[in-house]
């Protein structure tokens, strides 16, 4: 009896529930009013798009050309910087020590050139003049002795060998006198020009080494490439700064005077946007905050 009446009743009840559910869900839903009223464009025809505020120069991720430990951070977020202002510094103690060594070598090279320019020393000339006088006196002595031997009339009283020796002694004294005079002239002439050229080349080489070391020291100071404002600082003193492109830039800066708004326009409506057209930007969430915009450029 239960099966005879209960099963049909349950089937009928299920059918009624299904029909009621279909009717209820097929009713059109009433659209909920927006929480914030969307902005309305002040133009009869317009193209809308979502925008992103960015710096006029686009955001510049400042990085270091060489990795190292940060020893100083010279700026803070929001600070205005000029082109060339230091942003942060990398440890450069070893390079500075090497720079001092190269500067010392440069000073030695310059002193070498100065020493050559000041030749001859005044104290050296009297010494070489005295050697010339000594050589002249020795030559006169040898000539006098040779004259005495040559005046002897009796050839048996003079040894031919001794007479030859006296003549060679005169020639030797003459050669020594010439050498002493040449040495005196060499000292008075001062430094040889090729020696000066070599010394100057050594100064140039030392100066180039100093410039190279100074450049390496300067590379450890990261400077602002343009005038603008610091937008992010993601590095601290004592942290290791890696070189190359990073997911999180060490420091972000850009020119914010004026600001730019990058608007993404649907490709199907891109043809409607004309260069120089007027535009109005609204702050998301508040349609009362608006500002006129000027067209700058297209970026496909």
Domain ranges of the chain: 2-56+258-293, 120-190
Measure Cα distances from 194 to 199, 201, 270 in Å: 9, 10, 74
Range with lowest mean pLDDT among 9-18, 68-77, 85-94, 258-267: 9-18
pLDDT tens per residue across span 231-265: 999 999 999 999 988 899 999 999 988 888 888 88
- What mean pLDDT value characterizes the chain? 85
pTM for the model: 0.64
Nearest to 84 by CA among 224, 216, 201: 224
2 band by pLDDT with thresholds 50, 70 and 90: low
List, for residues 139-180, the tens digit of each pLDDT value: 888 888 878 777 766 666 667 777 778 888 888 988 998 998
Give dist(CA 150, CA 64) in Å, integer: 92
φ/ψ region of 84 (left if φ > 0, alpha if ψ in -120 to 50, else beta) reads left
Residue 35 pLDDT more than 90? no
| pLDDT score of 156 | 65
Least confident of 26-35, 110-119, 233-242: 26-35
Looking at 20-29, 47-56, 72-81, which range is the least confident one? 20-29
DSSP assignment letter at 36: S
DSSP output for 39-78: P--SSSS----EEEEEETT--EEE--SS-EEEEEE---TT
Alpha carbon 3 to its chain's center: 95
The pLDDT score that the predictor gives to residue 253 is: 93
CB–CB of 119/171 below 8 Å? no
- Domain 120-190 sits in CATH 1.10.287: yes
Given a contact cutoff of 8 angstroms between Cβ atoms, the answer to whether 52 and 281 are in contact is: no
Beta strand ranges found along the chain (DSSP E): 50-55, 60-62, 68-73, 80-81, 86-90, 221-223, 228-233, 240-241, 251-254, 259-264, 279-283, 286-293
The reported pLDDT for the residue numbered 126 is: 84
**CA dist 256 → 52, 74, 298 (Å):** 14, 20, 19
What is the C-alpha separation between 112 and 120, in angstroms, rounded? Answer: 14
**pLDDT of 94 strictly over 70:** yes
Q: ∠ at Cα 296 (273, 57), nearest 5°? A: 140
pLDDT higher for 8 or 57?
57
Task: Please give the full DSSP string across 227-252, using - where no structure is assigned.
Answer: SEEEEEE---TTSEEPPS--SS-SEE
- C-alpha 279/C-alpha 275 separation (Å) is 11
């Amino acid at each position: 009896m239960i099966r005879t009446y209960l099963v049909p009743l349950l089937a009928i009840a299920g059918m009624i529930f299904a029909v009621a559910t279909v009717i209820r869900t097929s009713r059109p839903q009433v659209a909920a009013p927006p929480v914030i009223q969307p902005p309305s464009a002040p133009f009869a025809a317009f193209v809308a798009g979502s925008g992103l505020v960015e710096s006029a120069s686009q955001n510049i991720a400042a990085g270091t050309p060489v990795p190292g430990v940060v020893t100083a951070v010279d700026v803070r977020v929001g600070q205005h910087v000029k082109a060339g202002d230091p942003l942060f510094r990398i440890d450069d103690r070893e390079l500075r020590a090497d720079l001092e060594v190269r500067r010392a070598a440069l000073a030695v090279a310059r002193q070498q050139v100065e020493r050559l320019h000041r030749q001859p020393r005044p104290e050296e000339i009297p010494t070489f003049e005295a050697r010339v006088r000594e050589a002249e006196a020795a030559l006169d002595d040898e000539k006098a002795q040779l004259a005495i031997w040559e005046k002897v009339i009796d050839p048996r009283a003079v040894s031919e060998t001794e007479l030859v020796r006296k003549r060679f002694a005169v020639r030797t004294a003459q050669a020594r006198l010439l050498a002493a005079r040449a040495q005196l002239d060499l000292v008075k002439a001062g430094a040889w020009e090729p020696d000066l050229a070599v010394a100057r080349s050594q100064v140039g080489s030392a100066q180039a080494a100093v410039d190279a070391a100074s450049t390496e020291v300067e590379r450890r100071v990261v400077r602002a490439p343009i005038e603008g404002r610091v937008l992010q600082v993601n590095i601290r003193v004592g942290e290791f700064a890696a070189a190359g492109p990073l997911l999180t830039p060490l420091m972000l800066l850009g020119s914010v005077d004026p600001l730019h708004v990058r608007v993404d326009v649907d490709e199907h409506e891109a043809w409607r946007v004309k260069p120089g057209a007027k535009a109005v930007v609204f702050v998301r969430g508040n349609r009362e905050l608006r500002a006129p915009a000027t067209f700058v450029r297209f970026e496909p």
